[in-house]
Amino acid sequence: MNQHGDNENRDLTASENPLILAADDDEAIRMLMKVALEGYGFRVEVAENGREAVDAFEKLNPHAILMDVNMPEMDGFTACKTIRSLPSGKHVPVLMMTGLEDVESIDRAFIAGATDFISKPINWAVLKYRIKYMLRASAAFNDVILQQKQIQELAYYDHLTGLANRAMFRDNLLCEVENCGKDKLLAVLFLDLDRFKLVNDSLGHKAGDTLLQQVAERIKTCIRNTDSLAWLKEDAKQVMVSRQGGDEFTVLLPSLKAPDNAGWVAKRINEKLCRVFYIDDHEVFISASIGISLFPIDGNDAESLIAHADLAMYHAKEIGGNRFQFFEQELNIQAKERLEFENDLRKAITGDEFSLFYQPQVSLLDGRIIGAEALSRWHNPRMGNVSPAEFIPAIEEMGLVIPFTDWVIREAGRQQLEWYNHGIKAVRVAVNISSKHFVEQDIPDKIIKMLEAHNLPSSCLEVELTESVMAAHGSKTLDILNQLKEIGLTISVDDFGTGYSSLSYLKTFPVDVVKIDRFFIKDILTGKKDESIVKAMVSMAHSMGMKVVAEGIENREQLEILHRMGCDYGQGFLFSPAITRDEFSGMLEAKKRFLL
């Protein structure tokens, strides 16, 4: 027997030296099994009866079990069934030894959970191959189990943090809601990190991933501490923490004693996440905004609970972050109104709901209209007239800046063409270009195409920018503005003096006109500082060869001061508010002059 074993050891697939547990009450059989199997390269441990076999299995965790059916104290059937009931015994191969043609014992063996059987008397050479076959089949089966486990982990676990993912959280929440009676209370916490993007942008995505892993551990710590479980009822299942994606996490709190307990947990998480994180050699500080929804108060299904917690989280972020907020029905109403607003806004850009109004710009020397600022207006069938203060920020937040800017340029060109076709001497129209995505908008190319399509002179258009564009984009902005100057357009700086003012911008960028913000004009009569600032702005712009437009002129006293300062142009309610294209066309056709 031994001479066969030395060559066959290399073919063992489950392990180089698999451990076999052999149980038989016959000492001679045990001895023969041990000698034979060790000769074939197996490691062998023996047991005298079923009870010893169960004990030995728990201690040794063998690769396979060889067991007689008839043994004292505990027979092989009972021992096999007992082993199968153990967590580690579900899949271990068990080979039962039965009497020759003992069909009843074979049936009982398979019912008890045996993998295979072999009849006595034992053919030791055949036994070797039966065991090796079982081990090979077991290894293949375990590979399948492992693959299924890996697939499950991919499907239900977040690979970065090891937490449950969105799908698993939703499935568990669905189950909890279905099994949760109306007299029970559960909570969903929806958490979003404040300032996480800053960490990603400044330290890199690797540091961001490390931070997310540390955040996950802290959240788990918050709900694992013994004292923190006092808010759960005795029959509560384990709470669940998941990563929804990005820097968003959710927590499921089942069987709460009271609604306030959810706030207590959220407060604990807020406090933990405010403490310093160490990422490589950096100290990082963040915080979290947390929204809370409660079953059945805020929803009777998983989707509404998650959505309402998400809404509450956004409200917490809007009012400053680093706090938690319970869901309120008013938030849902606001969210629905916002969704309707955004849907209407998308349709308005592609539809015919926007129009351009024109506010005249007047020469302070002779009262002539020398230009106008084109201001967008929105009349919605459902909401009526919508303030630009509402829809302009929404356009920027929704990523609609580029199609909206395209419309403004096309509409301004179309109106200029209409004036030319009606024999009206047109004036330069200033269009506002948003700072959002300024360098990605291909502004020079779009303006060239518009001018060529309508056969318009470049002098009919002025591009109006804010100082923030210059401050944010530097050399890229300079290249674009130089292209616009080559076309022959006028370039103006809007709201000058309100935030990013720097002489270097005026010196570096090809600016033709400076517009002084109404903030300085409104107190020019009563505030000596405002008067001095405006006077200095006018003098500085003139020294650089630029023209000056004063915005927000509302009375003749302001006009007179600005006239004495040498301000070139004025714009404001003293002359005219923003008016429709027909009204402005009438002014141009009549060659209206304003009295100074």
The reply to whether 218 and 147 lie within a common domain is no
Query: What does the pLDDT look like over 396-451, one tens digit per residue?
Result: 888 899 999 999 999 999 999 999 998 888 789 999 988 777 777 789 999 999 99
pLDDT at position 475 is 79
Q: How far is CA 506 from the centre of its chain?
A: 39
Q: Where a domain ends, among 327, 358, 384?
A: 327
193/125: higher pLDDT? 193
d(CA 183, CA 174): 17
Q: Is residue 594 part of a domain?
A: no
Q: Is residue 93 part of a domain?
A: yes
Query: What does the pLDDT look like over 357-398, one tens digit per residue?
Result: 999 999 999 999 999 999 999 999 999 999 999 999 899 888
Q: Is residue 596 part of a domain?
A: no
Q: For the domain that residue 281 is a member of, what is the CATH number?
A: 3.30.70.270
Q: Is residue 447 part of a domain?
A: yes
Q: Is residue 334 part of a domain?
A: no
As a whole-number percent, the residues of the chain with pLDDT over 90 amount to 53
468 confidence band (pLDDT: 50, 70, 90): confident
pLDDT at position 259 is 84
Range of the domain at 250: 166-327
Q: Is residue 160 part of a domain?
A: no
Q: Where a domain ends, among 154, 187, 215?
A: 154
pLDDT at position 13 is 45
pLDDT at position 337 is 85
The reply to whether 548 and 411 lie within a common domain is yes
Mean pLDDT, residues 216-227 taken together: 75
pLDDT at position 124 is 80
Among 307-316, 501-510, 564-573, which is the least confidently predicted range? 501-510
Q: For the domain that residue 130 is a member of, what is the CATH number?
A: 3.40.50.2300
The reply to whether 310 and 355 lie within a common domain is no
- Looking at mean pLDDT, say which of 159-163, 187-191, 314-318 comes out highest: 187-191
pTM: 0.58
The reply to whether 434 and 548 lie within a common domain is yes
d(CA 475, CA 515): 22
Q: Where a domain ends, among 102, 119, 154?
A: 154
Q: Is the pLDDT of residue 202 over 70?
A: yes
Using CA atoms, how far residue 227 sits from 191, 232, 573, in Å, is 22, 10, 66
Residue 291 contacts residue 309 (beta carbons within 8 Å): yes
Name the nearest CA neighbour of 495 among 571, 574, 390, 396. Answer: 571
The reply to whether 426 and 473 lie within a common domain is yes
d(CA 185, CA 299): 11
Q: Is residue 543 part of a domain?
A: yes
Is the sign of the CA dihedral 114, 118, 120, 124 positive or negative?
negative
The reply to whether 236 and 372 lie within a common domain is no
361/319: higher pLDDT? 361
12 confidence band (pLDDT: 50, 70, 90): very low
**Mean pLDDT of the chain, nearest integer:** 86
DSSP summary character for residue 232: B
Q: Is residue 571 part of a domain?
A: yes
Three-state DSSP at 374 gives strand
The reply to whether 137 and 271 lie within a common domain is no
The reply to whether 351 and 319 lie within a common domain is no
pLDDT at position 133 is 82
Mean pLDDT, residues 540-557 taken together: 94
Name the nearest CA neighbour of 251 among 175, 152, 169. Answer: 169
Using CA atoms, how far residue 353 sits from 338, 356, 380, 585, in Å, is 18, 10, 6, 20
Crossing angle for the helix pair 76-85 and 50-60, to the nearest 10 degrees: 30
Burial of residue 498, with CB atoms counted within 10 A of its CB: 0-12 exposed, 13-18 middle, 19 or more buried: middle
Half-sphere exposure of 515 (CA within 13 A, CB side): 26
The reply to whether 221 and 188 lie within a common domain is yes
The reply to whether 197 and 139 lie within a common domain is no
Mean pLDDT, residues 582-595 taken together: 92
The reply to whether 110 and 221 lie within a common domain is no
226 confidence band (pLDDT: 50, 70, 90): very low
Q: For the domain that residue 578 is a member of, what is the CATH number?
A: 3.20.20.450
The reply to whether 433 and 527 lie within a common domain is yes
Considering its fold, how many domains does the chain have in total? 3
Name the nearest CA neighbour of 293 among 259, 264, 320. Answer: 259
Burial of residue 120, with CB atoms counted within 10 A of its CB: 0-12 exposed, 13-18 middle, 19 or more buried: middle
Three-state DSSP at 525 gives coil
Q: Which amino acid is at 62?
A: P
